[in-house]
Amino acid sequence: MTAIAVTIAGSDSGGGAGIQADLKTFSALDVYGASVIAALTAQNTLGVHGILDVPPAFVTQQIDSVFSDLAINAVKIGMLSRSAIIEAVAEGLERHHAIQIVLDPVMVAASGDRLLAPESVDALRNALLPKAMLVTPNLPEAAALLDEPMASDERAMCRQAERILALGPKAVLVKGGHSTGTESIDILLDADGVQRFTAPRIDTLNTHGTGCTLSSAITAGLAKGLLLAEAVAAAKSFITAAIGASDQLKIGHGHGPVHHFHAYWS
């Protein structure tokens, strides 16, 4: 049977993050990708220049169309910029009994542009976190979800993971890409305890879409039947290789994308 995943997120007109990164990742990992577009962005490697939200009723119509026809194995949720859209997504997932949900709480783009309205953070906490099999905040996002300072070391990352887990998701992956040091360290916390995933930190400017790509790679692993820790480990390897190969691409004048198809392009 064909593994199928759906991404519910915003579109990136520059092709490096959002829906585009998710679908590239699904394809690179042998998973059929469907999509529900929650917002349009005017965006490139230099920044986000505009956001146009999709009406919540049309987000609902997309969800119903996809789930009524396709046998969805896993769901990735990315950028949802408004409370009404967050609530429409939560209601749609509940209606269709979605189980394997990976929530990437996209709040701020790598360029620093805000993608989630501040007043919508509570809606994200209350409506979607409790439905998630896994939530994947980076260090600034974890701090924003908890309304506290950003973690500065692994011990603080673990403490914040515990507090986020208490908000209702089954598991939390706090990503350490914004920290310093020779290694990029991610902390996974679930009912079985803490697991640590490490990779060498790669010196490149081409990191646009890393969070989207990692979360969609985890979703692809779950869609193919991997256990959560296995999916996280495989995704960590994939994103590390994609970042490592990113300088092979010459895209734009700012922070370029990672190389989703590093294993296929010469």
Q: Which of 92, 175, 177, 213 is catalytic?
A: 175
Q: Is 210 in the active site?
A: yes
DSSP helix/strand/coil, 86 = helix
Catalytic residue among 25, 41, 60, 210: 210
| Backbone dihedral angles phi then psi of residue 98, each to the nearest 5 degrees | -65, 140
Catalytic annotation, pick one of 211, 213, 221, 236: 211
Q: Do 246 and 259 contact (CB within 8 A), yes or no?
A: yes
Residues β-bridged to residue 43 = 48
Q: Please say if 252 is a catalytic residue.
A: no
In whole angstroms, give the CA distance from residue 232 to residue 244: 18
C-alpha–C-alpha distance, residues 72 and 212, integer Å:
19
53: CB partners within 8 A, 6+ apart: 38, 39, 81, 82, 85
- Which of 209, 219, 240, 256 is flagged as catalytic? 209
111-143 in b/e form (b: 16+ CB < 10 A) is: eeeebbbeebbebbbebbbebbbbbbbbbebbb
From 41, 207, 219, 240, the catalytic residue: 207
Task: Please confirm, yes or no, whether 212 is among the known catalytic residues.
Answer: yes
One of 16, 24, 212, 240 is an active-site residue; which one? 212
Question: Does 10 participate in catalysis according to the annotation?
Answer: no
Tell me if residue 158 is catalytic: no
* Active site amino acids: 175, 207, 209-212
